[in-house]
Structure 1
Amino acid sequence: MRTLKDQLIEKGLSRPRAGEIDQKSIRTRDRQEERLTDRELADLMGVNRDVYRRGPGGAFRRR
């Protein structure tokens, strides 16, 4: 649970003291951005999935 002091610093309404630097923001900068290939992106979007539609009589059919 965050304190009121932490929330004020986060909103920019108060400045942190010299010894109270947020270590969380420093750690997130070191993280490298994940690169996905075109094939992985297409798979995530569902480009090559089967398409099912309602056919005559209300049954599901693969297109």
Structure 2
Amino acid sequence: FHESCINTILLDLVKLLEPKYLEVYGDFTSRGGIAIKPFVNYAIKEYQEFKEKRLLNAK
């Protein structure tokens, strides 16, 4: 569910803003105190290398 929310937000923002690069990070705490922190990024062709580097360094 959480990953789906973050993906939907990303897709909506990409349609609206037409960015060269975009990151969406969620910080959810579910019942029981288990943290869920999904991350997704998007890049146009010219920014693919940057996207891959950011994905490897995302925390």
Q: Give the shorter-chain TM-score range.
A: under 0.3
Structure number with the higher strand fraction is 2
Asked which structure has the greater CA Rg, the reply is: 1
Task: Point out which structure has higher relative CO (alpha carbons under 8 A, 6+ apart).
Answer: 2
Give the alignment's TM-score, normalised by structure 1.
Answer: 0.20
Structure number with the higher helix fraction is 2
Give the alignment's TM-score, normalised by structure 2.
Answer: 0.21
